[in-house]
Amino acid sequence: MTAVCVMVLGTTSGAGKSWLTTALCRHYARQGLKVAPFKAQNMSNNARVVAPTLHRWRGSLPPEGADAPWGGPAAHRGGEIGSAQYFQALAARAEPDVRMNPLLLKPEADTRSQVVLMGEVSRELSDMPWRGRSEKVWPHITAALDALRAENDVVVIEGAGSPAEINLHSSDIVNMRVARHAQARCLLVTDIDRGGAFAHLYGTWALLPADERALIHGFVLNKFRGDAALLAPGPQMLQDLTGVPVVATLPMWWQHGLPEEDGVFDDKTRAAGAVTKTIAVMAYPRISNLDEFQPLKNVPGVRLVWARTPADCAGADWVVLPGSKATAADLAWLRTQGLDRAVADHAAMGGAVLGICGGLQMLGEALIDTHGIEPMNLGNAPGLGLLPLVTAFDAEKTVRHTHTRFTELVGCWAALSGVATQGYEIHHGQTAQHPAMAAAGDVARPVLPNGLAWQNGAGNVLGVYLHGLFEDPQVLQALFGASAPTLDSVFNGLADFIEQHTEPGVLKALIQTN
C-alpha cells in the first residue's frame, strides 16, 4: 500500500489550511478509505498528548542511522503533537501518532522555540540555529511520511505559512519539499475576505519553480461573502494565466466548531441566547493549549472574554489563568498589565478563579527553576499567592493522558465533587504544599490525586494540571448543565461543507491513480 497524497497549501497563515485539511480527512474517511493526516513541522503552543509506546531518546537527537526503525509499528513513540494534527487524525478516524507531526516548534520567546522531535523535546535542536535544523530533521520527516504512506490509502498533508517564501525556500521542510517528495496533488487556499485573493494566488504560483507549479491542482477561495457570481470573470482569467482552475469557493463560516490554531479567537465570543456567565481568560503572550476552551463557545449562556487589561475582567463571573509556555514570563506580563491585582481583587470578592497547568503554577506562592527550564532565566519568581503552593520546574517533562476523579470540592467548584474526568498533562513543573505555610496550618486542599488539583479554603480558587476539562461532557454537565456538539458531528459538518461547495468530481479526481 502506498497512499496517494493530497496537500493543502495556503497563500498566507490563517488562510484556512488546518480546517480544510481536517475536512478532507473526514471526507476521504467517509469514502471507506484508510486516511492519515501529516504536517512536517508545526509552530504552535497548542499541543496534544498521544499515547506513549516503546523506546525513547531523552532530550537529544536520535543516533545516526536510527531513523529507519521509526517506520515499523513497534517503533512508534508517544509524546506531543500539534493540536491541529490531533484533531485531523480523529477526523480521519485514525489513532493520533507522533509521525503525523514529526516536528513541533513551541515558541518560548520571539527568537526561541522549544523543539519537539517525534513527540519528545530535543534540547540539541532547541539550541541549534533555525537554518541549521532542516538537514538534521529532514530524514526523520521523510521516514515518518513514508511510513504513513505505506499504511494508508490517502495521506492529507498540511503545509505551513506560504510555500512561496523565497527567503526560506532553500531550507524548506514543510511545504514544496514535502510536496515533491510525496508527489502530492496540491490545493492552494487563500482568504478572500482579506482582499487581494487573486493576486495572492497568482503571486504564490508565479514564485514557485516550474516543477512545483505542476503540483498545484486547484485554487480554493475561502471565507467568501456575498454572491459568488460576482467573482466572474476572475476565476477564468486566473486559470488562463496559470492553467490552474478555481475548484472551490467556500462561504464565510464563523462557527465551524474547530479550535483556532494560530491564536485566540474573537475577543468576545457570544453565547447562544442571553448571557448568564462571563468567563475572562487571561490572554498572555505565551498562552498555550487555548484550544481546550473551544467547547465553551458552544455552551448556551456563556460568553468568553480574552483579558489583556483589568477592564476586560470587569463583570466576569470566572477568571481563568490558562496554560503557558513561559510561566514566569507570562506572570511578569500579568503584573505589567495590572492583571495580577485584577485577579487578586476578583478572588478577594469571592469570585471564581481557575488556573490550568501554568495558571495553577502562577496561583501559588513561588516558582523555583534550578534547571533553567523557563526561558530568559525568569523561572525563579514569586507567585500570585492565592494558593499556598510552590512549583519547582523539573528537567524531565511530564507528558501523559490521565483518567481520574475529583474528590469533594466546596464553594464555587462544588459541582465537580465526585466527577470522573480525563485529560492530558504537559508540564515541567511539580507542585506541592508550601512547607512553611503548611506548618502554620495554611494548606491547600488536594481535590485530585497525585497533586493534580488544589483548592483554597474558601473554595473559590481552584488550580488543576489537567488540560481538556471543558472537552469532557461530564465536566460540562456538572458546571453548566449543558453539553457541546460532539467532535464527530463537527467533523461531519466540515466534510458536508466542502462537498457542497467544491466543484463536482474534484475531490475524487485528487486521489485517482490513473
Active site (catalytic) residues: 357, 467
The torsion of the CA quartet 114, 392, 417, 442, rounded to 10 degrees, works out to -150
Contact 35, 212 (CB under 8 A): no
Q: The C-alpha cell of 341 is what?
A: 491585582
- Per-position DSSP letters for 121-146, written without gaps between them: EBHHHHTS-HHHHHHHHHHHHHHHHH
CB within 8 Å of 398: residues ≥ 6 apart? 425, 426, 427, 428
Residue recorded with cell 472574554:
305
- Per-position DSSP letters for 301-312, written without gaps between them: TEEEEEESSGGG
What is residue 461's three-state secondary structure? Answer: strand
Give the residues across from 323 on adjacent strands.
288
Beta-strand pair 35-38/277-282: unpaired
- CA 12, 43, 115: angle at the middle one, nearest 5? 150
Cα–Cα nearest to 100, from 39, 181, 177: 39
**Given strand 277-282, what is the order of strands in its sheet?**
268-269, 302-307, 277-282, 318-321, 352-356, 461-464, 453-455, 445-448
What is residue 373's three-state secondary structure? Answer: coil
The one-letter amino acid code at 209 reads P
Contact 374, 329 (CB under 8 A): yes
Q: CA 195, CA 424: separation in Å to the nearest integer?
A: 40
Q: CA 316, CA 327: separation in Å to the nearest integer?
A: 23
Q: How many CB atoms lie within 10 A of CB 124?
A: 14
- Per-position DSSP letters for 211-267, written without gaps between them: HHHTTEEEEEEEEE-S-GGGGTTHHHHHHHHHS--EEEEEEP-TT-SPPPSSS---S
Phi, psi of 4 (to 5 degrees): -75, 140
